[in-house]
Each structure stands twice: as C-alpha cells, then as structure tokens.
Structure 1
Amino acid sequence: MNSDDLVLRRAEDSDAIELADVWLRSFSAALPSVRRAHDDDAVRDWFRFVVVPERETWVALVQGAVAGLLVLDGGDLEQLYLAPSWRGRGLGDRFIALAKQQRPNGLELWTFQVNGAAQRFYERHGFVAVERTDGLRNEEQEPDIRYVWPAPE
C-alpha cells in the first residue's frame, strides 16, 4: 500500500452507506459461520442513524474508495472492519495505531471466538484476552472474547 494513496479521516454522513457495505462484505468474508443478527438494510440504517452520527467513526479511503472503518465509542474499540481485498496489507495496523493514539489510556474490544485471525491480530498489537463468554449476551449468540489494551497489571 502506497501511503500517498491512503487517507484516514473522520467519517461524514455521506460515507455511511459505503461504510455499511464494507462492514457487510467484511463480516461475510471473515465470519462465514456466524449468523448475522440484522439484515443488510438494518445494518445500513444502523450506520446511517447511529454509527456515523453518534460514534467516533473513522474511514480509510484508498483512491477515493472505502477500504476500511474504525469505530470508537468511549474506551471501546467497537468496530474494525476492512474490505476483504485490504486484509493483510497493513491497513488494520494503521487503524490500531490511530485507536491507541485517540485512546492512550486504554481500549477494550470484543471479538468472536471463531475469529482466530482477529485474535492473532489484536494479540500482536498488545491486547490481552481477559474474559470469554458463551455468547448469550451478544445479538449473534456467538461465544466471544473481551480484550483489553494496555494489559492489566
């Protein structure tokens, strides 16, 4: 990835549908065995009416196209999704650096237990698993893991 082609900026209302579409494609590619709790239209509405206007939402643009998104909500890293063609190319690393810069006092996140790639990614970036659940508290009813950074002392 040529850094001259990459723009990381706060999302604008006009980005919401493209962000939702990247989220949908990424979720399907990374988590094929996980039942989504909401259909495509509900996800698009969630981005349009909740995520972009109410959360600290960042977008990665490469040559004007949405390549990924990062959503922070307080101390939670709520969403980090990349277009499938952008996985493994350093964009996630850039988003983690941005999240840590924005929240130097720490971050928490949840990922599904079936998502081994996400677990390896977050652990490589210093996140530590502190809780595993049976999934009964999330909408997908999928076992998950809570990670924190920095590691608790």
Structure 2
Amino acid sequence: MGIPKTLTQPLIRAYQDADLDAIAQLWYNTWHETFPNLQHPHPYPEWRELLLTKLIPQGSTWIAEVEQQIAGFMLIFPEKSYIDQLFVDRRYQSHGIGAQFLDHAKSLHPQGLRLYTLRENTRARVFYERNGFIASELSVNTFNGQPNVEYIWKPRQ
C-alpha cells in the first residue's frame, strides 16, 4: 500500500507500551532499508530488547501517528538533551514528520540538543543541517561499529 502525496497532519504523542513491537520493527526495517550494504552485527530480537530494557526506560519516547498508523518514533534522553533515535518509516519520509519531531524536541530542550548519525547517511546529514544542526565530532557507534558524526543544535542568540 502506498502513502498519498499529502498526508493528514501527523500526531506527535507520547509512547505507550502497546507501541513497542511496531517501533522495534520500524527501527530495524528502516535501518536496513537505509543501509542495505551494511551487515548489522545484531539480530532483530536484540534491537527489541535494547528498546525495552535500556532505551525506553531511560528516555522520553515520542510517536508520530498518521491515521492510526505509526509513521515514526523519536527517543530523547532528557537529562542529556540528546536525541538517541529518530526514525521515520521510509514510506512516510519527505512528508515533514522528521522536521515535526525536531521541532518538538527543540520545544522540549530550548537550550540545545545533540545527536549522532552514521557518517555515510548523507540524506540524514542534509536533513539535520537543513534543520539547524551543525556537524561536530567524529566517533564510532558502539551498537553497530559504524563511523558516526555528532550534530549539535543551539538556539539563535
């Protein structure tokens, strides 16, 4: 099933326990669709377990919902003003959902935010830069072993 060219305005809402399987599958599928040539070192059950036991309990998780369908999710570690995950289902990309997530994160953390993305993820890097984030330090992702780039957003003075 395709997604219409224009979408109903996405609802950004707080995570509910019933969302776990949908966002774990979305995270896993979207990552592999984005990086088809990278073999991720962890199988799907480990992704789900990481969400369930470490990421969701430590963070603030937000869901983008379009017509009762989960279109994306964002996980923020509030005490660090750090966006740990931001994924939009490939079918819903380029419809403003990612920007809506970033606007929501900025409203929650007006003092500034940071995040990491894989260096080879040029589409995400262009997206973050278009939304006011500036590339900073280079590192390696501890979960998948791939090269990362840190992005920082600070409000205009």
- The answer, yes or no, to whether TM exceeds 0.5 is yes
Does residue 45 (structure 1) correspond to residue 54 (structure 2)? The answer is: no
Q: TM-score when scaled to structure 1?
A: 0.89
SS of the counterpart of 1:67? Answer: strand
Report the CA distance between 1:59 and its aligned residue.
0.6
Instruction: Give the gaps of 5 or more residues in structure 2.
Output: 1-6
SS of the counterpart of 1:100? Answer: helix
Do the aligned residues in 1 keep the contact of 2:118 with 2:147 (CA within 8 Å)? yes
Do the aligned residues in 2 keep the contact of 1:35 with 1:140 (CA within 8 Å)? no
1:35 maps to: 39
Cα distance per residue 1:81-111 (max 9 Å; x no partner): 0111011111111001001011111111111
Q: TM-score when scaled to structure 2?
A: 0.87
Count the aligned residue pairs.
149
Does residue 62 (structure 1) correspond to residue 61 (structure 2)? The answer is: no
Q: 1:151 to 1:131 in 2, by over 3 A?
A: farther
Report the CA distance between 1:151 and its aligned residue.
7.4
Report the CA distance between 1:14 and its aligned residue.
1.4
SS of the counterpart of 2:11? Answer: strand
Structure 1 residue aligned with 2:149, among 126, 145, 152?
145
Instruction: Give the gaps of 5 or more residues in structure 1.
Output: none
Does residue 87 (structure 1) correspond to residue 93 (structure 2)? The answer is: yes
- 2:41, 2:112 → 1: CA distance? 28
Report the CA distance between 1:50 and its aligned residue.
2.6
- 2:15, 2:56 → 1: CA distance? 6
SS of the counterpart of 1:32? Answer: coil
1:143 counterpart letter in structure 2: P
Does residue 106 (structure 1) correspond to residue 112 (structure 2)? The answer is: yes
- 2:14, 2:70 → 1: CA distance? 12
Does residue 121 (structure 1) correspond to residue 127 (structure 2)? The answer is: yes
1:60 counterpart letter in structure 2: A
Report the CA distance between 1:42 and its aligned residue.
1.1
